[in-house]
């Protein structure tokens, strides 16, 4: 998986999965262009990846995407690989009490943000000679969530976005796939455990449903993403890939 000379654009880069994936791609030779929200604390990321280009932007803003692509091309070249990964979990609230604004907030980042990324980066990869895109969905993109309707709906939508983008950009040499992590050791899972009001009991319940008997690590998600972004995955296209320790058996 030699990625020397390749440029990888990563959103949600300062988060757990974004950082682990950026580190793995960089270790294989890729130049990283990292995107996260204005005001992000980049210190740990920049310590680990001093050569990365850092861009502060909001994935829900189309103007920000124009800037992301032009800065990427001007400062690093490419892009050849795109990890369209920024996402939020939203609040845990029973379906019938879910405020419309909260539903829309989650859809904004997880659907509109992913759509805008594909719209602007897909053609840029084609113009750079082709490459690959991985969108981050979730096991929640394959199952409902009675108290996380926005999150579950948004992650289902990522499958539709991936398939549509695969049809749009595949003929121009851009492969597009989605990854579906299960429960990963992370701030996001801790926040969901806390919000459930059951804390460790929720965690124990999750673990008992996971065949592997544990939460996954961000580095295990990164391995799948790096494979799908690499030329080794040359015939993997328009599909979805789980990394969930056997939780869903889809
Ligand atoms: N952690 C898990 O267990 C898990 C499981 C399945 C799927 N996922 C998905 O993986 C992805 C990464 O999750 P994570 O665990 O690393 O979470 P995280 O919260 O550590 O990282 C997400 C990053 O996205 C950034 N972000 C949020 N809104 C943004 C916006 N509008 N513009 C730009 N950046 C924005 C955040 O600042 C953060 O750095 C998400 O899409 C998440 O839904 C996570």
Find out whether the beta carbon of 138 lies less than 6 Å from any atom of ligand 1.
yes
Q: Whose CA is nearest to atom 40 of ligand 1?
A: 87
Find out whether the beta carbon of 13 lies less than 6 Å from any atom of ligand 1.
no
- Of 23, 59, 87, the one to substitute when testing ligand 1's pocket (max ligand atoms within 8 A of C-beta) is 87
SS3 113: helix
| pLDDT tens per residue, range 51-75 | 999 999 999 999 999 999 999 999 9
Q: Does the structure show a pLDDT above 90 at 33?
A: yes
**pLDDT on residue 226:** 98
Pairing of strands 31-36, 131-136: unpaired
Confidence (pTM): 0.99
**Which domains, and CATH codes, for the chain?**
7-183+217-243 (3.40.50.720)
| pLDDT tens per residue, range 86-118 | 999 999 999 999 999 999 999 999 999 999 999
Percent of the chain with pLDDT over 90: 97
By the 8 A CB rule, do 124 and 77 touch? no
Find out whether the beta carbon of 56 lies less than 6 Å from any atom of ligand 1.
no
Q: Would you place residue 199 in the very low, low, confident or very high pLDDT band (cuts 50, 70, 90)?
A: confident
Close Cβ partners of 101 (under 8 Å, ≥ 6 residues apart): none
On the question of a cis peptide bond just before residue 79, with omega within 30 degrees of 0, the verdict is yes
What is the rounded average pLDDT of the residues 77-83?
A: 98
């Amino acid at each position: 998986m030699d990625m020397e000379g390749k440029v990888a654009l990563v959103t949600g880069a300062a988060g757990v999965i974004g950082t682990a994936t950026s580190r793995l791609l960089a270790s294989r030779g890729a130049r990283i262009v990292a995107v996260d929200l204005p005001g992000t604390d980049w210190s740990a990321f920049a310590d680990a990846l001093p050569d990365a280009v850092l861009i502060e932007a909001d994935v829900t803003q189309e103007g920000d995407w124009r800037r992301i692509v032009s800065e990427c091309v001007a400062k690093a070249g490419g892009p050849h690989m795109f990890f369209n990964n920024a996402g939020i979990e939203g609040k845990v609230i029973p379906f019938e009490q879910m405020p419309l604004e909260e539903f829309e907030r989650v859809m904004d980042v997880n659907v509109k943000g992913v759509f805008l990324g594909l719209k602007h980066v897909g053609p840029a990869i084609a113009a750079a000679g082709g490459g690959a895109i991985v969108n981050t969905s979730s096991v929640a993109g394959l199952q409902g969530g009675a108290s996380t309707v926005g999150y579950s709906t948004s992650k289902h939508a990522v499958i539709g976005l991936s398939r549509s983008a695969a049809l749009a950009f595949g003929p121009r040499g851009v492969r597009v796939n989605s990854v579906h992590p299960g429960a990963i050791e992370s701030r996001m899972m801790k926040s969901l455990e806390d919000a459930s009001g059951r804390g460790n009991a929720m965690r124990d319940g999750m673990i008992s449903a996971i065949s592997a008997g544990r939460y996954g690590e961000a580095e295990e998600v990164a391995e799948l993403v790096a494979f799908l972004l690499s030329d080794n995955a040359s015939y993997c296209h328009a599909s979805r890939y789980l990394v969930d320790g056997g939780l869903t058996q889809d």
